[in-house]
Structure 1
Amino acid sequence: MTDQPQASEPTADPAVSVVGPGDGETIVLGTTRLRVLEDGSNTGHRLGIAESILAPHTPGPPQHRHAQHDEGFYIISGAVRFTVGDQDYDATAGTLVMVPPGAPHTFANVTDEPAVMLSTFTPDLYVQYFRDLEDMIAGGRAMTPQANIQAMRRYATEPATRGWTP
């Protein structure tokens, strides 16, 4: 008698997440509007995705390094200036910028036009950071560089430039 493979019970297919053009969680941080498309709840927290609209002349966060996640930025429209260490890169529509853990970086819209980018967070660690900033602003606290860095530190992120200490 040979061992026959046992038929397993059929399993339900995993749920598919569909986020339409008007859907998603909206987070407003000053002149930046984020639309969370995936907060990690549908990906086992392996991936978070947000669409960001940066108004003209929107400054970015203090230059920082993530210890536990990769961050990707795909420019959909406009231009975004990425600063990596002392080097500036002007990324226009169609450009992908991937930032591995440990790489110093920041970004800003230095132009007169809005910029739209899609950001990925692998794992989803950083999505909650944006929620924390929104809560801070809603609570009446100013989004100073020091307050921003304090929030970053909760998500294994540290300033990459000297002089930023809360």
Structure 2
Amino acid sequence: MITSSISEFPERSFLPIVSHHRHSEWFESSPNEFMSIRVHSTQVQGRYSVVESYAMPGSSTPLHKHAHDEIFQVLTGSPTFMLGPEMIETQRGTVIFVPAGTPHCWRNNTEEKVQMIATCFPGGIEDLLIQIVGRAPEEIVALASKYGTTILEPPIAS
């Protein structure tokens, strides 16, 4: 449908969201990875969530899978992604779509900071990211399952 004026757009029950980087609240979700929830799923009726992250050199995530789809956009740096059995070298501007159920993880093998945006469809996973702060790995495994996430293996080695 092509519209010629804003009044022709379908009515929504939520408002546009502007999330300025300079006003974002940041937390250290895991050692050397800092996150900011840019759009919380409660702001968009659970449709999606948007999380920005900074990962320092050597940072990585465990191999895991979700019950939701996820899209990563690499803003700076060159993280290495594992998607199923395949290792993918990325760079600034890379976009990666991870379908629900796909085992995946990433690692910053470089000497520079990595910055990414992750968008999850539907949303809700952002609440897990807040709750894992400072928790032991075994606690994270149990908590993750409540959010449709299964931790499969420890983080990938460099």
TM-score range relative to shorter protein: 0.7 to 0.9
Deviation at 1:53, TM superposition (A): 0.3
Identity between Structure 1 and Structure 2 (%): 24
Aligned equivalents of 1:66, 1:12: Cα separation in 2 = 28
Instruction: Report the secondary structure of 1:41's partner residue.
Output: helix
Which aligned pairs between 1:29-68 and structure 2 lie closer than 5 A?
Answer: 29=29, 30-60=31-61, 62-67=62-67
Contact 1:27 1:130 in 2 (8 A): no
Deviation at 1:23, TM superposition (A): 1.9
Evaluate the alpha carbon distance shift between residue 12 and residue 79 of structure 1 in structure 2; reply closer, same or farther with a 3 A threshold.
closer
Instruction: Report the secondary structure of 2:141's partner residue.
Output: helix
CA RMSD of aligned residues (A): 2.0
Map of 2:70 onto structure 1: 71
- Verify: 1:147 aligned to 2:139, yes or no: yes
Deviation at 1:13, TM superposition (A): 7.9
Contact 2:75 2:116 in 1 (8 A): yes
TM-score, normalization by structure 1: 0.78
Map of 1:21 onto structure 2: 21
Structure 2 stretches lacking a partner, 5+ long: 1-10
Greater mean alpha carbon deviation, residues 12-21 or residues 111-120: 12-21
Deviation at 1:80, TM superposition (A): 0.9
Deviation at 1:66, TM superposition (A): 0.9
Structure 1 stretches lacking a partner, 5+ long: 1-10
TM-score, normalization by structure 2: 0.82
Contact 2:56 2:108 in 1 (8 A): yes
Evaluate the alpha carbon distance shift between residue 18 and residue 111 of structure 1 in structure 2; reply closer, same or farther with a 3 A threshold.
same
Map of 1:157 onto structure 2: 149
Deviation at 1:25, TM superposition (A): 3.1
Evaluate the alpha carbon distance shift between residue 76 and residue 86 of structure 1 in structure 2; reply closer, same or farther with a 3 A threshold.
same
| Residues paired across the two proteins, number | 143
Letter in 1 for 2:145: R
Map of 1:8 onto structure 2: none
Evaluate the alpha carbon distance shift between residue 86 and residue 36 of structure 1 in structure 2; reply closer, same or farther with a 3 A threshold.
same
Aligned equivalents of 2:49, 2:104: Cα separation in 1 = 19
Structure showing greater Rg: 1
Contact 2:14 2:43 in 1 (8 A): no
Aligned equivalents of 1:122, 1:70: Cα separation in 2 = 5
Aligned equivalents of 2:141, 2:13: Cα separation in 1 = 41
Map of 2:106 onto structure 1: 107
Contact 1:48 1:124 in 2 (8 A): yes
Q: Deviations over 1:104-132 (max 9, x none)?
A: 10111111110000100111121011011
